[in-house]
Structure 1
Amino acid sequence: MQVFSIDRGDGPIVLGQPHGGTHVPEPVAERLNDNGRGLADTDWHINRLYKGLLGDATVVQSHIHRYVIDANRDPSGVTLYPGQNTTTLVPLTDFDGKPIWVDGQEPSTDEVEDRRQKYHAPYHAALEQELARVRAKHGVAILFDCHSIRSLIPFLFDGELPVFNTGTNNGATCDAAVEHAVHETAAKATGFTSVLNGRFKGGWTTRNYGRPDEGFHAIQMELSQRAYMTEAAPWNYRDDRADTLRPHLKNMLERLRDLALSGALTEKGALK
């Protein structure tokens, strides 16, 4: 089983997809309880949703499920949201706070490190390499980290989540023009709700690679799954919903590509 795959493009945009994978190695799957084996916290159909929206984009997607190890968590184990409910590098519970492992079968510290080396590190090595390649070609690289989540999860947030949740760690991970292009598109999308740096401000991937002064810009898009699928097992993709959402995502990505190719970002940054 491949840990990750790369669909390499010639443009300045890299799509990161750390949570769409559903593969769980058999020795790990045997230790998940009935709740864990449901894999409810998957970013279901995320690759399908973005497929074909930007022909020259590079896509780096993990095929390993986040219950094996979460590719969007700090490998040191430091929490991204101090004081708030969240899940860890290797989750012990699902997003509802319910255990996912058979009692007594939770991963040990040594197992977590082994999984980090086998699955987390290779995905990020590939992502880093692709970002470096893109920046070398264009003088700038924009990482658009693609995520989705159920709309109602009281353990993580109050009320219903907006459809578009743009995260830039309060503006630290990208140039203001990148943030503006994405959030403005989301805010103007008729029939959809949006927020900037709300409950989701960008995960470890966005924060780690977002170094605008070095020509690397990163932004996270957390979508509410109600906008393109059914939010209950068997988690069906809904073409009628996705076909309404996809044009707005396409618009975001095209605006980012045009911005990168305009030279405006390299003129502002350290690389010229």
Structure 2
Amino acid sequence: MMEWLEVHRGDAPLVISFPHTGTLIPLEIEKRLTSPWLARKDADWWIDRLYGFARELGATTVRTAISRTVIDVNRDPSGVSLYPGQATTELCPTTTFDGEPLYAGDGPDEAEVARRRATYFEPYHAALQAELARLRTDHGRVVLYEAHSIRSLVPRLFEGELPNFNLGTNSGASCDGALTAAVEAACDASGYSRVTNGRFKGGWTTRHYGQPQTGIHALQMELACRGYMDDPATPPTPASWPAPYSDAQAAPMRAALTDVLKACLAFAKP
């Protein structure tokens, strides 16, 4: 297994993908960037730690340690925008979520993007596909759960404060409605705010693998960071972001997410 690709195998019909928790950037790329901090600012901070309990539930986890600035493994590999007409970042991002340039000079050209796809994108998805296929042989249904987070306030991407739970199911196409309803119920019972298929409807992974007719049910959960860590109300700075992870601060959200994943398992194992 490649050092940057982390796969933990479980036997339950649940795969959790962590596409954006990585912060590793090869030196030859990092030296071209405007700022090491900007290059890592939009990571899904501490999400793999927040879901650390998932392995106890028998879940399989797949994580890349490579930063999304190198390549975003949750974007359409063809380069087509997932949200036409809305601000977003590319397969190999050239700006932050706030629109700040990531490269001091030119960004990656087509040949470099292709190399990054072959080096990082394709192995990640080969591993994800292999784990789904492995579990599908033993279970009638398998749930693919995309674990994400984002700052609560990113004016360039959305207006106002983001709800705590942002559930995306590709407008209902990527999973059975019963799974959506079960996850919604777990979210709503927690007391945290929730929206389904709002600003975030699911990235490429959810849309690509979510094929309920074949037994693969995919959904994306985008958490507002304030639910488990300090989330600045003003534009972040190197002094304020990322805030450190605190088990005590994250405990209520971990409890809510435990119920969410149990709802996924109850659907997959009726």
Shorter chain as denominator, the TM-score bin is over 0.9
1:37 offset after TM fit, Å? 4.5
Contact in 2 for aligned 1:173/1:207 (Cα 8 Å) = yes
1:183 offset after TM fit, Å? 1.3
Q: Look up the match of 1:240.
A: 248
1:252 equivalent in alignment to 2:253: no
Q: Look up the match of 1:176.
A: 177
RMSD of aligned residue pairs (Cα, Å): 1.3
Q: Look up the match of 1:268.
A: none
Q: Look up the match of 1:89.
A: 91
Unaligned 5+ segments in structure 1 are: 263-272
AA in 1 matched with 2:215: G
**Counterparts in 2 of 1:1-272, with a 5 A limit?**
2-34=3-35, 37-55=38-56, 56-102=58-104, 104-190=105-191, 192-231=192-231, 232-262=240-270
Identity of aligned residues (%): 49
1:4 offset after TM fit, Å? 1.1
For residues 27-77 of structure 1, give each alpha carbon's deviation from its aligned partner in whole angstroms, at most 9, with x where no partner exists: 011011026645100001111000123520000001110000001000000
1:236 offset after TM fit, Å? 1.2
Contact in 2 for aligned 1:21/1:65 (Cα 8 Å) = yes
AA in 2 matched with 1:227: G
Report SS of the residue matched to 1:143. Answer: strand
AA in 2 matched with 1:217: H
Contact in 1 for aligned 2:175/2:217 (Cα 8 Å) = yes
Unaligned 5+ segments in structure 2 are: 232-239
Report SS of the residue matched to 2:119. Answer: helix
Q: Look up the match of 2:234.
A: none
1:8 offset after TM fit, Å? 0.3
Change (3 A) 1:36 1:76: farther
Q: Which whole-Å CA distance do the structure 1 matches of 2:59 and 2:121 have between them?
A: 22
Q: Which whole-Å CA distance do the structure 1 matches of 2:208 and 2:179 have between them?
A: 17
Contact in 2 for aligned 1:167/1:196 (Cα 8 Å) = yes
TM-score, L = length of structure 1:
0.93
AA in 1 matched with 2:53: G
TM-score, L = length of structure 2:
0.93
AA in 2 matched with 1:16: S
1:217 offset after TM fit, Å? 0.3
Q: Which whole-Å CA distance do the structure 2 matches of 1:101 and 1:41 have between them?
A: 15
